[in-house]
Amino acid sequence: MRFGLWCRRNLRGSAVSGRKNIRFIEDPRTGVEVALQDTAPRLSATPGSIDALGPALGADNRKIYQEILGMSASENSALEEVGIV
């Protein structure tokens, strides 16, 4: 049985869903629903939540290489062209 199918069948079961330990969020890049461990402990005044999966891999590369590490835009582009970044 494929893992994704196992997750859909078992993580939506009454025991797991009753505890609200697993949260399902759709990945906007792929359209696939991802199962995540929800926040714990859940406090009444500040229960916490997971609303997104986070930025795409490499989304902040330019900012890090140019603003933090001081690399020029042309140096960064050269690294991107050869597939290093």
Query: Closest Cα to residue 55, out of 27, 34, 81, 23?
Result: 27
Q: How many domains does the structure of the chain reveal?
A: 2
pLDDT at 71: 94
Based on the fold, state whether residues 44 and 61 are members of the same structural domain.
no
- pTM, two decimal places: 0.52
Spatial distance between the Cα atoms of 12 and 17, rounded to a whole number of angstroms? 6
pLDDT at 9: 67
Task: Give per-10-residue mean pLDDT for the chain (85 aa).
Answer: 63 62 86 86 83 87 93 92 90
Give backbone dihedrals phi and psi of 64, rounded to 5 degrees, phi first: -65, -50
Based on the fold, state whether residues 20 and 5 are members of the same structural domain.
yes
> CA torsion sign, 61 to 64 to 69 to 75?
positive
Q: Which letter does DSSP use for residue 68 in this model?
A: I
Based on the fold, state whether residues 15 and 38 are members of the same structural domain.
yes
pLDDT at 16: 60
Segments forming the whole domain that contains residue 29: 1-51
